């Protein structure tokens, strides 16, 4: 990007379209636009990360008995097979 900006400044000075003071203003406008684009991309990235994290947060919630998947499987297996433990 730096080489592009230098080429732009050289071209405008060479052609005489813009003076040196205006080049500074032009560079300022380019950098302001760059900063604005960067902030928009950062905001979009943060929103995307927040959405992805919220998906994982809700994924771990369970309905009904309050057991997670492993506990539910263990309870299901235990109900299908008899226990031969002696109860005192």
In tens, the pLDDT along 20-55 reads 557 677 778 788 888 999 999 999 999 998 888 876
pLDDT more than 70, % of the chain = 70
Mean pLDDT of 7-22: 68
Residues 6+ apart with CB under 8 A from 9: 23, 26, 27
Q: What pLDDT is recorded for position 62?
A: 47
Average pLDDT, the chain: 76
User: Using only C-alpha atoms, what is the Rg of the chain?
Assistant: 32
pLDDT grade for 63, boundaries at 50, 70 and 90: low
In the chain, the percentage of residues whose pLDDT exceeds 90 is: 15
């Amino acid at each position: 990007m730096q080489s592009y900006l230098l080429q732009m400044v050289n071209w405008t000075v060479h052609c005489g379209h813009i003076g040196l003071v205006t080049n500074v203003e032009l560079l300022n406008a380019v950098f302001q636009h760059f900063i604005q684009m960067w902030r928009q991309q950062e905001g979009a990235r943060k929103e995307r990360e927040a959405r992805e994290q919220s998906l994982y947060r809700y994924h771990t919630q369970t309905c009904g008995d309050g057991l997670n998947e492993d506990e539910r499987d263990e309870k299901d297996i235990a109900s299908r097979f008899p226990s031969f433990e002696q109860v005192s």
